């Protein structure tokens, strides 16, 4: 099974020729993965934790086939239906007991992470564990592609420096602090694509009230829309 479209790509780090973006992007085939038909392609999906349930519903609704990366988190309500949807045991986590039976033709599985990916970023590890995610699961979730890890590390390091300067908790900051950090990068001349990557990096380490995603917070989305207008991505 070879995916041909990325439904939730970290911005500006695209390994597949086709991808669906969060925000308007000249290179994407569509905006918002939940508004397109998934069954027309073999999908690759690493959804934000806050939309895993919605992603599973989308897979079933569209009778889609593809590769899905999620934490091995048996206590979550979405885990039993996910297990029933598998067409093979998940890789990178303990194999569930019993047979794996597809649900209504929906097919998905979790690919193992590449063995050459460097070790987990400490701040991301702390973030995931602060949400009650076991260390074994957080190791799997942090198994980003090497290109992602390199770019995220740069922005997470800048974020840590910013937080030390302004005495901000880097894991549970006010959303305005994260937005102000992005604004500082903007005024330093960063492009729209670079700001998008920075937003994704912060979303991987930040925990907002109500477990809301930093990357999809209205304050952050409005800011990024404004930067797209004033400093559009290059085509």
What is the pLDDT, as a whole number, of residue 137?
42
Q: Report pLDDT for 10.
A: 64
Q: What is the pLDDT of residue 120?
A: 37
pLDDT per residue as tens digits for the range 140-194? 445 555 556 677 888 888 888 888 888 888 878 888 899 999 999 999 999 888 8
CATH number of the domain at 122-230, out of 1.10.150.130, 3.30.565.10, 3.40.630.30, 3.40.50.620?
Answer: 1.10.150.130
Split at pLDDT 50, 70, 90, the class of 114 is: very low
What proportion of the chain, given as a percentage, has pLDDT over 70? 68
Q: Which residues of 154-190 are buried (b: 16+ CB within 10 A; e: fewer)?
A: ebbebbeebbeeeebebeebebebbbbbbeebbeeeb
47-51, 131-135, 162-166, 230-234 — most confident range: 162-166
Query: What band does 126 get if pLDDT is binned at 50, 70 and 90?
Result: low
pLDDT in tens, 56-65: 999 999 999 9
Domain spans in the chain, listed from the N-terminal domain onward: 5-109, 122-230
CA 51 vs. chain centroid, Å, equals 10
What pLDDT score does 96 carry?
38
Global confidence as pTM: 0.46
Which pLDDT score is estimated for 170? Answer: 82
Whether 132 has a pLDDT exceeding 50, the answer reads: yes
């Amino acid at each position: 099974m070879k995916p041909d479209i990325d439904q939730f790509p970290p911005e500006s780090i695209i390994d597949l020729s086709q991808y669906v973006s969060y925000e308007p992007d000249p290179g994407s085939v569509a905006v918002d993965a939940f508004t397109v038909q998934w069954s027309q392609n073999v999908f690759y999906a690493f959804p934000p934790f806050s939309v895993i349930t919605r992603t599973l519903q989308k897979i079933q609704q569209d009778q889609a086939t593809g590769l899905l990366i999620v934490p091995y988190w048996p206590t979550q309500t979405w885990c039993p239906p996910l297990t029933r949807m598998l067409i093979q045991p998940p890789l990178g986590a303990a194999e569930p007991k019993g047979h794996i039976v597809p649900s209504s033709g929906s097919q998905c599985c979790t690919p193992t992470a590449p063995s050459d990916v460097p070790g987990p970023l400490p701040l991301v590890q702390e973030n995931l564990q602060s949400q009650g995610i076991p260390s074994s699961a957080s190791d799997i979730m942090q198994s980003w592609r090497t290109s992602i890890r390199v770019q995220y590390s740069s922005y997470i390091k800048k974020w840590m420096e910013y937080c030390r300067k302004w005495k901000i908790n880097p894991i549970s900051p006010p959303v305005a602090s994260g937005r102000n950090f992005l604004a500082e990068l903007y005024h330093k001349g960063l492009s729209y694509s670079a700001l998008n990557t920075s937003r994704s990096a912060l979303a991987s380490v930040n925990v907002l009230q109500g477990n809301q995603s930093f990357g999809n917070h209205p304050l952050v989305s409005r800011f990024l829309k404004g930067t797209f207008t004033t400093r559009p991505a290059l085509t």
